[in-house]
Amino acid sequence: MIAERRKQGHFIWADYVPLVLVGVAVLLVCFIIGPQRYYQRILLLVVLWMCICSNFNIISGYGGQIVFGYMLFVGAGGYTSVLLFKFLAVNPWIGMFVGAAVAAFLAFVIGYPTLRLHGHYFAVATVAFPLMAIPIVAQLGWEEVHIPFAGRGIESMQFTDVRYYVLMGAILLVVFLIIVRMIERSRFGYALQALKQNEAAAEGMGVHTHRVKLLAFMLSAFLTGITGTVYCFSILFLLTTPAAFGLFIIVRILSITIVGGIGTLWGPVIGSALLVPVGELLAAEVGDRWPGFQDLIYGIVLLMAIIYLPDGIWGKVTEIMRRRKTLPSAKVKAMVAPSNPNSPSKQGKPSSFSLVTSLPTDRGNEPHGSILRVQSVSKLFGGVRALQDVTVEVPRGKILGVIGPNGAGKTTLFNVMNGYLGPEQGKVFFKGKDVTYLKPHDLCQMGIGRTFQIPQIFNNMTILENVMIGAFARERNATRARAISEEIAQKMELTHRAEDQAVGLTILETKRLEFSRALATQPELILVDEPMAGLNPEESHHIGEIIKGIAESGITVIVIEHVVQSLVKFADYMVGLDEGRKVAEGTPEEVISNPHIIEAYLGEKWRRRYAKS
Amino acid sequence: MLKVNGISAGYGGLEVLQNVSIILEKGEFVAIVGPNGAGKSTLLKSISGTVRCTSGQIYFMDENIIRMDAHKRTGLGIIQVPEGRRIFPSLTVLENLELGAFRSEARGSIKENLGAVFRLFPILEERRKQMASTFSGGEQQMLAIGRGLMSKPHLLMLDEPSLGLSPKLGDMIFDVIREIQTKLKIAVLLVEQRAVEALELCDRGYILEQGRIVISSDRASLMGNPIIQKSYLGVV
Amino acid sequence: METFIQLLVSGLLMGVSYGVLAAGLALIFGVVKIVNFAHAAFAVLAMYFPAFWFLEWWGIDPFISSIIALPIFFVVGYATQRMIIDKVIGTPAAEMSTLIVTMGLSLLIENGILIGWSGAPRIINLPYTLGSFKVGSILLNQAQTYSFIIALVLIAGLFVFLNKTMLGKAIRAVADDPESCAYMGINLRFAYCLAFGVGIAITASGGCLIATYRPFNPFYAETIIVIIFACCILGGVRSVQGALIGGIIIGCIQMLSTMVVAVALQNVAVFLLFVLFLYLKPEGLLGRKGRVV
């Protein structure tokens, strides 16, 4: 029942009540502990680390961009508010937001160029900044800043009783968790998680990856700036550069978040509740004999976690829960539908696809009724001419097959059509408009969809959610996106598994999911990249039927394929490439008897001896 | 000598080979012909171990090697010259060849093997101190084959040696391969797209299509057989 | 002008030691394809053991220790790769996982040193620490000069290993094309351990050299790690020669920047340069992608 209401986009209280309960639990513990300052302080630290890690989770967990220099924002927020308080007597409540703004600003300035880097380069770049901050801040004379105690209670965010800080922390935590949950369920959140798993595919699905990453980065930084302020005022009495910008901060954040479950809402909560008390008690116990023992343990925990438990505790729990869910239902389905789900549908080709929302039938200025025109396109790749003066006109509503031997330029042509590459010469027109240098996400919004040769499945989401990523390209509203996705899933015979996680799919299910996702972007033109890869003849036939069904509903299809003998059975029209040039064009019959094509595929000797002219 | 029994293999979640079986006797020259994407490379890689099989057996000299690591299979003398040459660009020609003799059985006879390779490919001796990345496609292919020979193979597997080469260069490479086979009398498994060239050299051949063996026969029956053109380009 | 040359010369002498550390990092990055965050931590570990402690316990000169460190840290590096890093290579998120693992390792080493040998800054006080040679009007610090010579010997040794031995050529091949190495019978896992071991060994040796003229503490690694990254990036990340040149350039920049900014800020100039290169020219000054030597 809840699932139904969620589908309809109603606000589900059940989603948010547990979060509030966490805050209540914290207050309960606080109450039970009583006035003992020592334990209250540990509780406060637990809550603060939950906050920082939740913030971190947005960009690094959900977004998958692990920011190794994250402590910059803790320090930025903290230092800003403390310095404003100390030297300009600015109220810390205001200073807190100023600090957060400073952190967000830094995130923008750093993130804009840095988020274009990937992997190693990105991670290492972010580390330089906090390490740079330390000597600069020290040089400005703020290596050690004593936070003056004005003793005005709530006015100056300075309470003698730690329990008020715990209350503050609990409220902040609930707010942060609510923010994370809202992100999870929103279009922004889906885009974030998609780009984490596969950035190129996400781009092809219409996600403006750079913008999404930057926003997530700034949001994380802003919230951390707030947490940093609270951390300084409630824990530190002396603000020092190592305490604010030290490497140990990121190691602790990583340990806690990974142990709990990175990219999950409960991960930081569980991780902090587990590690922080242990860490603090250890530090108190052996700290005088063995300073640094706590961080040593965190280092070891981080090592162990990433090797043996990379999904974290909550990740493991959800995996077990999912396995339990799919097992019995799979058995049920096997009983109900005894036919092999792998075999092609007995009814023949799937029913044609009428799109849920009617597309604007704006045909633009198409001179010859062609929906896409590639004009004299040339592309160089490090000295190799991948494409040389290629012109292709794609008739609307037909299936165009592109063939050619390895290295002929087929994939390059696709990438140019799709916006991943820009040609050195020539232009691309879509519905009469020049789209030569537009990016994939723009073209997706305009109506060009794409499937990938190796299906890019987002494993951490359900099948339906995978399709929804596509739907979100042109549909902002989550409810309608879901409706579109469900309809397409039904036509693609995936409904029986729509709510299952997208793992362990058969090869045909994977391909059908790939098509579903592309169709959900409501394309007028769809680029299909080697759909027959890895299929046997029966399975190839089934894919051919799917493609025919798509074309019948009015969507133009362009297919690259190696398995020519399958392609000739359903293509209306074909183009042959060899060494970057177009060497053949016409009906399938014409193209496969073209001597250039025969030579390109079978060799010159075969053509001379055996090809019928 | 080599018996592949019903193997299935693939990568990235795709199953490229389905229940494929081939046989190769000592000293035989067998060609595997078929269109792109048929799984020819995957078949060779399954034998050399760089691709894992999901089912089936592979017997080499009566030993089942299906679970053996790739670098150990070279120890048995199964040597593959990979698709696209894959020579080491930042190493010199000489260093590339020396590395061919990395496996312990081959290290003892580096000098003589080098001599043999240089006789086969004089240009390699001439340019032995040059960095391999400066070589043209045809020269790189010669280097790749030479490197394979340095490993003292009992079974030499060649993956599309004419790929990306002009017909003339391709012919030259095929001549060299023929010479190798007649002179050194080793078993050769050749994977090729150029049907005629491959079939001319072989004793027997297999046609591979979409992961399955379609025909297996001797050279005479395969040459010019229209089934081959249908495999590559289909009929309308 | 004199100050300029003086600083330049000091920069050159020190830069070569940086180059040694950077060479180790570049080797590891080129072959194993991972960024070793713990790299500087290993160097600092070597500053304590063997450099400092062998001197304290048995009066062994740190320059001798720098040679002794080679086999010791080869084993340490080999074991680290085999037992820890190997477990995350080849997993889907390998790039991030290896970074996280090495970061954890870094903290582990630093705090291990802190617990074992306290946080007090250490200095090696031998006659050559403060003594200088006089060449014209330029003063050459003796410790730095000896380090310079030994560092060059180390680099030469590394070159010989990579270019003249079968194993060295094999790991260069792995850097070029790890997949094809299986066709030669090269065991990839062994090659990674070898490369990591050699990289760490030479780094530790360089650490001992640095210890002769710089004070150090358990967290010194946090200062040097970005400097080493900068050296690598300047020279072209996978290139050992490049790392050496990068080291020299960085050493000079560090020294020369003291002419315009306070000494405490000399690293900021380096960090900024590092970040700029990352954005604008990640293939470095030498610009050769994918070449180890």
Query: CB-CB: which of A113, A139, A291 is closest to C262?
Result: A139
Q: Are C278 and A124 inside 8 Å of each other by CB?
A: yes
Residue B155: which CATH number?
3.40.50.300
pLDDT tens column, C38-70? 999 999 999 998 999 898 899 888 899 999 999
Residue ranges of A 388-447 with Cβ closer than 8 A to chain B: 405-407
Residue reference for tokens 């609510």: A178
Query: CB-CB: which of B195, B210, B236 is closest to A606?
Result: B195
CA atoms within 13 A on the CB side of A189: 16
Segments of chain C with pLDDT less than 70 = 286-293
Query: Is the minimum CB–CB distance between A598 and chain B shorter than 8 Å?
Result: yes
Give me the pLDDT at residue A77, please: 93
Give me the pLDDT at residue A4, please: 59
Q: Are B74 and C185 inside 8 Å of each other by CB?
A: yes
**Which chain C residues are within 8 Å of A253, Cβ to Cβ?**
none
pTM above 0.80, yes or no: yes
Query: CB-CB: which of B71, B88, B148 is closest to C176?
Result: B88
Query: CB-CB: which of A114, A131, A292 is closest to C111?
Result: A292
Q: Is the pLDDT of residue A204 over 50?
A: yes
Confidence at A338, pLDDT banded by 50, 70, 90: very low
A252: nearest CA in chain C?
C104
Look up residue B143 and give its amino acid.
Answer: L
Query: Is the minimum CB–CB distance between A612 and chain B shorter than 8 Å?
Result: no
Query: Is the minimum CB–CB distance between B84 and chain A shorter than 8 Å?
Result: no
Give me the pLDDT at residue A359, please: 38
Q: Are C108 and A117 inside 8 Å of each other by CB?
A: no
State how far the alpha carbon of C130 is from the alpha carbons of A7, C63, C145, in Å: 75, 16, 12
Which tokens sit at B150?
């340095």
Multiple choice CATH, A370-447+523-610, 3.40.50.300, 1.10.1040.10, 2.40.128.20, 3.40.50.800: 3.40.50.300
- More confident position, C160 or A6: C160
Query: Is the minimum CB–CB distance between A595 and chain C shorter than 8 Å?
Result: no
Query: Is the minimum CB–CB distance between A109 and chain C shorter than 8 Å?
Result: no
pLDDT tens column, A345-365? 433 334 444 433 333 344 444
Interface ipTM? 0.89
Query: CB-CB: which of C170, C182, C188 is closest to B49?
Result: C182
Q: The domain containing residue B38 runs over which residues?
A: 2-233
For the residues of A433-471, what is the DSSP string, one character each? EE-TT--HHHHHHHTEEEE-SS----TTSBHHHHHHHHH
Query: Is the minimum CB–CB distance between B167 and chain A shorter than 8 Å?
Result: yes
Q: Are C291 and B90 inside 8 Å of each other by CB?
A: yes
- Cβ within 8 Å of residue A59, ≥6 positions away: A65, A67, A213, A216, A217, A219, A220
**Which chain A residues are within 8 Å of C96, Cβ to Cβ?**
66, 119, 123
Dist. CA A499–CA A494, nearest whole Å:
10
Chains that touch C (3 or more CB pairs under 8 A): A, B
Dist. CA A232–CA A142, nearest whole Å:
14
Confidence at A340, pLDDT banded by 50, 70, 90: very low
pLDDT tens column, A499-527? 777 877 888 888 899 899 899 988 999 99
pLDDT tens column, B155-212? 999 999 988 788 888 888 999 998 888 888 889 999 988 888 888 888 999 998 888 8
Q: Are A603 and B194 inside 8 Å of each other by CB?
A: yes
CATH topology classification for A15-318: ABC transporter involved in vitamin B12 uptake, BtuC (1.10.3470)
**Which chain B residues are within 8 Å of A565, Cβ to Cβ?**
35, 209, 230-235
pLDDT tens column, A80-120? 999 998 888 888 889 999 999 999 999 999 999 898 888 78
Report the b/e string of A523-535 with b at 16+ CB within 10 A: bbbbbbbbbbbbb
pLDDT tens column, A37-77? 888 899 999 999 999 999 999 999 999 899 999 999 999 99
Going by C-alpha positions, the residue among A365, A407, A397 that lies closest to residue A573 is A397
Into how many domains does chain B fold?
1
Asked if C18 contacts C228 with a C-beta cutoff of 8 angstroms, the reply is yes
A310: nearest CA in chain C?
C97
Q: Is the pLDDT of residue A157 over 90?
A: no
Give me the pLDDT at residue C248, please: 92
Q: Which domains does chain C have, with CATH numbers?
A: 2-280 (1.10.3470)
Query: Average pLDDT over chain A, rounded to whole?
Result: 84
Q: Are B99 and C173 inside 8 Å of each other by CB?
A: yes
Residue A35: asked if its preceding bond is cis (omega within 30°), the reply is: no
Going by C-alpha positions, the residue among C199, C282, C202 that lies closest to residue C237 is C282
Q: Is the pLDDT of residue A612 over 80?
A: no
Query: Is the minimum CB–CB distance between A454 and chain B shorter than 8 Å?
Result: yes
Say how many CB pairs under 8 Å bridge A and C.
121
Give me the pLDDT at residue B16, please: 84
Q: Which of A277-281, A480-484, A491-495, B37-41 has the highest mean pLDDT?
A: A277-281
Q: Are A562 and B14 inside 8 Å of each other by CB?
A: no
Site from A593, A610, A612 to mutate, B interface, most B CB atoms within 10 angstroms: A610
Dist. CA A537–CA A542, nearest whole Å:
9
Say how many CB pairs under 8 Å bridge B and C.
73
Confidence at B13, pLDDT banded by 50, 70, 90: low
Q: How many residues does chain C have?
A: 293
Asked if C158 contacts C23 with a C-beta cutoff of 8 angstroms, the reply is yes
Residue ranges of A 338-367 with Cβ closer than 8 A to chain B: none
**Which chain C residues are within 8 Å of B90, Cβ to Cβ?**
172, 175-176, 290-293
State how far the alpha carbon of C19 is from the alpha carbons of C13, C25, C48, C232, C245, in Å: 10, 10, 20, 8, 7
Residue ranges of A 113-152 with Cβ closer than 8 A to chain C: 113-114, 117, 119-121, 123-125, 127-129, 131-132, 135-136, 138-139
Q: Are B50 and C170 inside 8 Å of each other by CB?
A: no
Give me the pLDDT at residue A532, please: 86
Distance from CA of C158 to the nearest CA of A (A): 25
Q: Where are the domains of chain A?
A: 15-318, 370-447+523-610
- pLDDT (mean) for B92-100: 91
Q: Are A255 and C112 inside 8 Å of each other by CB?
A: no
Query: CB-CB: which of C108, C229, C262 is closest to A296?
Result: C108
Distance from CA of A461 to the nearest CA of C (A): 17
E strand segments, C87-127: none
* Ordered alpha helix ranges (H), A287-356: 293-308, 312-336
pLDDT tens column, A212-267? 999 999 999 999 999 999 999 888 878 888 888 988 999 999 999 999 999 899 99
CA A141 to chain centre: 42
Return the number of other C-beta atoms located less than 10 Å from residue A35's C-beta: 9
For the CA atoms of chain C, what is the radius of gyration?
18
Which tokens sit at B46?
């399954």
pLDDT tens column, A415-433? 899 888 888 889 999 988 8
- Cβ within 8 Å of residue A211, ≥6 positions away: none
**Burial (CB count within 10 angstroms: exposed 0-12, middle 13-18, buried 19+), residue B30:** buried
Site from C167, C171, C176, C184 to mutate, B interface, most B CB atoms within 10 angstroms: C184
Q: Are A250 and C103 inside 8 Å of each other by CB?
A: yes
